[in-house]
Structure 1
Amino acid sequence: MAIKMGTGDLAKYPFLNEAGDYLRQSGFDWEELDRPDTREILERAEERLRTAVAGNVYEKLDRYETEILTFVVTLIMVKSIGLDPVLKKYALAEARRAEKFLSEDLRRQSDAQRRALFIKIFEDLFGLKIDVTEDGRLFKVRVTDYLRRSSHFHEQEWKMINRLVQAGQVFLDADETVRLIRNELAILIINKVRGMSLPTLPNSLVERVEQMRAELTPRFEYRTQVVTEYPPCIKHALDVMNRGENLPHSARLMLATYMLAIGKPVDTIVEIFKNAPDFNERITRYQVEHLAGSKGSRTKYSVPSCEKLRAENLCFATAECDGIVNPLQFGKKRANKK
């Protein structure tokens, strides 16, 4: 089924192959970026990348053709800068941007238009077949497809026991349907950048790239945390952070409360989370201070029990755990036996 994508669609979903076709047909040449009248494209590309680096989502969608070009130029910037943490932060921000537009489109489009979007984005790109309920209010995916994707989520609402399931299909609303593919969207963009061959870049773009690389390198070189003295669940969380990957909310809560409980200062804990692709210092600092009881409700949060961590698939117990009931007890039982 052929689907005609307009420039508005391509501006919202510029990772589609049709966006590349559009640029080739437009006859755009990289040397054009040295012209004064294309300066806005470079400025928006830099803004798009800086917004992602700050842990936020680039919202602009006022000039479709410009935004399609901006996306491609930003990919070139990320590739040229060559910092893996920047790539992961950018990919996640672009996935969240597309997720926002997809959710909006699915809620307001007609059934025929919804199915067209599903075929193009969900099924063609990710092999995820989506059906729409008769009243058009909910969406259905196969149980196997749901489980494969939701297994990365640790929030209670994603567990199968809390979902409506019928005839081998799981029912979801628009936001939940799109959330299922956020990680795959981010991986798609990461692979797109890694697979790119850099063209000969115009001077105006080279200058911006070199300036941003010099600025971002000291900020985004991975900050490796020593993990030898921690319980396995905390070691695992720190390993994930050291790889520059995202932790689910429940794992972040575990890690932050554990570090607070052993006396780590807020600044040190915020530093631990800086490797996360979605890191936002202001939000992270407030959340850690909230858990410490110095902000918000003024209630200090406790470290989750081992039982709770097992229920949320966050337990990686070894023989050294020796029957403890809370990560804070790790190592203390052996010490007491000596």
Structure 2
Amino acid sequence: MEIPLDSLIRSESGVGVRIKENAAQRIKDSLGYTDFTLQPEFESIDDEILSYAVARMIVSCLNDRMIMDRLARYEAERAYHFLQTEEPAKKRYVAQSFGLDSDAGEMRVIDYVGLVATMKDAKWRLVNRDVRHGMVRILAGEYDELLRERIRVVIRSQLPLDIPGSIAMRLRPYADSVSVAYQEKILEQYGEVDEGSYPPCMEAIIRAVSEGTNIPHTARFSLTAFLHTIGLQEPQIVEVFARAPDFDISRTMYQVEHISGRGGTEYTPPGCQTLKTYGLCVNRDATCKDVSHPLSYYKRKKKGRKKETTESAAQ
């Protein structure tokens, strides 16, 4: 049956509104994984399919790298969850449709490396694999995880979609609701940005920028990734670098957008050990001794400052 998706999106009542609301909720769920079982609204297969299609359109309207990444990972996790209960023949069919042959027992090195690039478990590193004649051996139990990653890669590679302006206008309220939910999620994790809780290494980089020091790329990258992760928007990050005497807005905006995710990769700030390697671990204090990442420092220091403020107010 042909489903008029365009008419559905333009609809301001009934099934059209329900599908758009379900699609927006689907994205919000992706910001923090919940139960992968079908929600009551999705008991209809048509609703399930349409909400997925519209969700892709909504995130494309937002064109936010991290939100698109979250949706792709969420959909891959859902597919993985449901595939666990499918018959082996159907799982093989799905794997083959995504370019994986679960009967082969091996993959070409070039295909394997590209697929596992973002998988963090050490077992996927090529140095830990059995490689012979340009082929990587794959154990039977590993194909499900590889299929999940392959689904994620395929979904993410298709985003963002090219959305006509008239459709984007119809989806704007739903996109805005997702954007608000995302900001709330960031605040839930890190709270309001508190400069007084920045780790000494980040404070030192900001001070160097303000004093006109020519800081290395590793410092720019570390600071930008840190500020982006704790919730600063790109213009706010650019403002930090605007304090430098040699500030170039075009170059800085390009660098900030790239590091913040629009360049194709979602970056996070390096850990303390890496910062030591970069020569950026300076002015260590008592809190530094108990953490291994600047984000952990920020959370701990902020929690301590909030406790001090509460105790002072109670006196």
Q: Which TM bucket (shorter chain)? A: 0.5 to 0.7
Q: Give the aligned partner of residue 170 of structure 1.
A: 137
**Cα RMSD (Å):** 4.9
Q: Does structure 2 retain, via aligned residues, the 8 Å contact 1:33–1:39?
A: yes
Alignment coverage as a number of residue pairs: 233
Quote the offset at 1:198 in angstroms: 3.0
Q: Does structure 2 retain, via aligned residues, the 8 Å contact 1:45–1:73?
A: yes
Quote the offset at 1:143 in angstroms: 3.9
Q: In the TM superposition, what whole-angstrom CA distance separates every residue of 1:181-239 from its partner, at most 9, and x where no partner exists?
A: 65554454344332322363498744333344456468769x9x958489998986666
Q: Does 2:123 correspond to 1:157?
A: yes
Match of 1:269 among 295, 298, 307: 295
Q: Does 2:260 correspond to 1:243?
A: yes
Q: Give the aligned partner of residue 13 of structure 2.
A: 35
Change in 2 beyond 3 A, CA 1:254/1:159: same
Q: Does structure 2 retain, via aligned residues, the 8 Å contact 1:149–1:181?
A: no
Match of 2:3 among 10, 26, 31: 26
**Residue identity matched to 2:21:** E
Change in 2 beyond 3 A, CA 1:56/1:88: same
Change in 2 beyond 3 A, CA 1:153/1:216: closer
**Residue identity matched to 1:269:** L
Change in 2 beyond 3 A, CA 1:113/1:207: closer
Q: Give the aligned partner of residue 56 of structure 1.
A: 33
Equivalent residues in 2 for 1:78-89 (5 A)? 78-89=59-70
Equivalent residues in 2 for 1:24-173 (5 A)? 25-28=2-5, 29-31=7-9, 33-53=11-31, 55-56=32-33, 59-61=36-38, 62-102=43-83, 104=84, 108-110=86-88, 112-121=89-98, 123=99, 129-132=100-103, 139-160=105-126, 162-163=128-129, 168-173=135-140
**Residue identity matched to 2:260:** R
Q: In the TM superposition, what whole-angstrom CA distance separates every residue of 1:107-160 from its partner, at most 9, and x where no partner exists?
A: x423x4343222212x1xxxxx42416xxxxx4323443234335445332244
TM-score (norm 1): 0.50
Quote the offset at 1:56 in angstroms: 1.5
Change in 2 beyond 3 A, CA 1:64/1:40: same
Quote the offset at 1:100 in angstroms: 3.2
Change in 2 beyond 3 A, CA 1:235/1:171: farther
CA distance in 2, matches of 1:215, 1:232: 33
Q: Give the aligned partner of residue 298 of structure 1.
A: none
**Residue identity matched to 2:69:** K
Change in 2 beyond 3 A, CA 1:130/1:34: same
**Residue identity matched to 2:295:** I
CA distance in 2, matches of 1:141, 1:256: 36
Q: Give the aligned partner of residue 174 of structure 2.
A: 208
Q: Does structure 1 retain, via aligned residues, the 8 Å contact 2:20–2:54?
A: yes
Q: Does structure 2 retain, via aligned residues, the 8 Å contact 1:141–1:171?
A: yes
Quote the offset at 1:50 in angstroms: 1.1
Q: Give the aligned partner of residue 322 of structure 1.
A: none
Runs of 5+ in structure 2 lacking a partner? 188-192, 209-214, 230-258, 302-315
Q: Does structure 2 retain, via aligned residues, the 8 Å contact 1:48–1:74?
A: yes
Quote the offset at 1:71 in angstroms: 0.8
CA distance in 2, matches of 1:57, 1:120: 27
Quote the offset at 1:48 in angstroms: 0.9
Percent identity (aligned): 17
CA distance in 2, matches of 1:199, 1:34: 17
Structure showing the higher helix proportion among its residues: 2
CA distance in 1, matches of 2:224, 2:140: 34
CA distance in 2, matches of 1:150, 1:215: 30
CA distance in 1, matches of 2:148, 2:58: 22
Q: Does structure 2 retain, via aligned residues, the 8 Å contact 1:51–1:57?
A: yes
Change in 2 beyond 3 A, CA 1:26/1:184: same
Quote the offset at 1:88 in angstroms: 2.6
Q: Does structure 2 retain, via aligned residues, the 8 Å contact 1:143–1:169?
A: yes
Secondary structure of 2:93's match?
A: helix
